[in-house]
Amino acid sequence: MDGVRYNEALARLYQRAEDIQIEPLYAGTPWQEVADLGPILLGLNQNSLLWHEVDNEPEWHTAAAVLTSHAPMTQIADHLRQFNQVTDTQGNAYLLRYADPLVAWFWLKSFGSANAIQILGPISQWHIVQPQPAWQTADAGWHVFNGPDPGASESPCNPFGEAQQQALDQAYRWQLKSRLYACLQANNPVALQRLTPNALDSWLDNRLLTAEAWGLASERSQIIWCALSLTHGDDFATAIDGRYLHWLSHHQTAVFTPDQRLQQYYQTTLEPEGLPT
């Protein structure tokens, strides 16, 4: 379970009227003071009422995974703790939120899900509900990542190489698109309905790529860029007779960064229209 995704995780777990083994995986580490926000390993018996919630409640699908193993829980906990902090190929250290199903999905897939994933060690299977975009209503169901066969010789495997770094970049992109969609849904629901769910994902990818090519670095600017594209057309920044180029021609913005220019344009001309603040 991911303590960030499952609000007040430890308090809610300890309040349950059933016997659950609870092992915060930040306990006994330098991050012990935020153990409630880190990964939490739970041991359930087969009759636990919690299984029904895990199977059926969306909160659990986005906050937890199901691990199967014949190894003792202490061994699994020790194995997982080695992923609390990982080091990339440049020597930079990161806290890896492997308990977050979204992060784990991209991280584990980066090892090649068609084969046994050696880094799972004593974990025979890691079950995750496949992440679905907010604009897709169908539940994709559980996906299983397989660990090595019992007794198989361990082979060295870097838990955070170049492929894994790229995978976490993809996870961030997914989260960013989810935030963009939530903002557009809140502020421009009518305009957003013009895009079908199948077209929305590629549209968001395209808008983010063009925003980056335009030099926009802040998330606020990227949200404004997508909102303006939705309401004024994808070519709003280049249309000869468009409001943006007209505004630029009447303002001294040469010393501004691309973010500053776009945000200044929005604040002085379009903020009353209900775009994101």
Contacts of 181 (CB under 8 A, 6+ apart): 133, 134, 135, 200, 204
Q: Which helix (H) or strand (E) holds 262?
A: helix 258-265
Instruction: Give the residue-averaged pLDDT of 208-217.
Output: 96
In the structure, what pLDDT confidence band is assigned to residue 27 with cuts at 50, 70 and 90?
very high
- Indicate left, alpha or beta for 151 from its phi (over 0: left) and psi (-120 to 50: alpha): left
Positive or negative torsion for Cα 56, 57, 59, 63: negative
Task: Supply 3's token pair.
Answer: 């303590």
- Average pLDDT value for residue range 180-191: 92
How far lies 122's CA from each of 71, 110, 111, 151, 184, in Å? Answer: 6, 19, 17, 9, 44
Is residue 164 pLDDT above 70, yes or no?
Answer: yes
To the nearest whole percent, how much of the chain has pLDDT over 90? 81
pLDDT-wise least confident of 20-34, 56-70, 111-125: 111-125
- Position 152 scores a pLDDT of 66
* Residue 270: band (very low, low, confident or very high) from pLDDT cuts 50, 70, 90: confident
* pTM (two decimals): 0.88
What is the identity of the amino acid at 155?
S
Place of tokens 């003071």: 33
51, two tokens: 């299984």
Q: Report the C-alpha gap between 43 and 122 in whole angstroms.
A: 15
Q: Is the predicted pLDDT of residue 252 greater than 90, yes or no?
A: no
Indicate if the pLDDT at residue 208 is higher than 90.
yes
pLDDT category, 232, cuts 50, 70, 90?
A: very high
Task: Indicate the helix (H) or strand (E) that contains 248.
Answer: helix 243-249
User: What mean pLDDT is predicted for residues 158-168?
Assistant: 92
Residue holding tokens 């939705």?
230
Residue 156 clears pLDDT 70, i.e. is over it: no
Residue 130 has pLDDT above 50, yes or no: yes
pLDDT at 277: 47
Looking at residue 124, its pLDDT comes to: 95
Our measurement of the distance from residue 7's CA atom to the centroid of its chain's CA atoms, rounded to an integer in Å, reads 16
Average pLDDT of 7-32? Answer: 95
112 has a pLDDT exceeding 90: no
Q: What whole-number distance in Å separates Cα of residue 105 and Cα of residue 128?
A: 7
Q: How many CB atoms lie within 10 A of CB 29?
A: 13
